[in-house]
Amino acid sequence: MKKTIIILLTMTVCSLGQTMKQYASNSLFSDYKASRVGDAITIVVVEASQASNKAETSTGRSSDIGLGGKGSVSGNSIPGADLDLGTNSEFKGAGVTKSSGMFRTKISALIDSVLPNGLLHIKGSRKISINGEEQMISIKGIVRVSDIQADNTVYSYNISEAELILEGSGAIDRVQSPGWLTKLFHWLF
């Protein structure tokens, strides 16, 4: 009987020891920070972009050629001939391009893999559908563990090799795209 109790107690302690290994990396004094494959983190996307481009071109060319002649012999005039040629070419061009955008949202992502140097590869997406309009937001990139805040958030500007895609489809998207006739003329010309 004593041997049976000792064996059961030993098996229980060993099985608890194996489960404790999972939590050995967690601190008793701080919150859990995502760092393993499958852990979720929240990406705080705060992106602002602004670009401007201005170009001006001005060219000109001018050339004149002239030939003239008149003459007279003892009061009789010889018919005269005049020839003038002239060309003029002028071009002026100007162009201005301006673009700006602002994108703010929060999106959850999962740790896809842990690189050998300890960096985390993340990937996440969200699909939003409102009144037939669909928006798909996807993000992926590489995050340092030190950039993850205590509440498991990371700012989008701390993600290296970040790929942030915002795509939409629906009635508004269809209205903004050119029609098939316009596409045909652009293809031909």
Supply the pTM of this predicted model: 0.53
Lowest mean pLDDT across 12-21, 96-105, 120-129, 135-144 = 12-21
Q: Are 131 and 100 in contact (CB under 8 A)?
A: no
The answer to whether the beta carbons of residues 156 and 43 sit under 8 Å apart is yes
Query: Residue 12: its pLDDT value, please?
Result: 64
CB 41 within 8 A of CB 34: yes
Label the pairing between strands 153-155 and 40-73: parallel
Element (H, E) at 115: none
How far is it, in rounded angstroms, from Cα 69 to Cα 189? 50
Token pair for 58: 């001005």
In the chain, where are the structural domains located? Answer: 29-51+101-188, 54-95
pLDDT for 167 equals 82
pLDDT tens-digit series, residues 93-114: 777 777 777 778 889 999 999 9
pLDDT reported for residue 77: 60
Residue 161's pLDDT is 92
Computed from CA positions of residues 32, 35, 41, 44, in that sequence, does the dihedral angle turn out positive or negative? positive
Burial of 58 (0-12, 13-18, 19+ CB in 10 A): exposed
- Evaluate if residue 157 carries a pLDDT over 50: yes
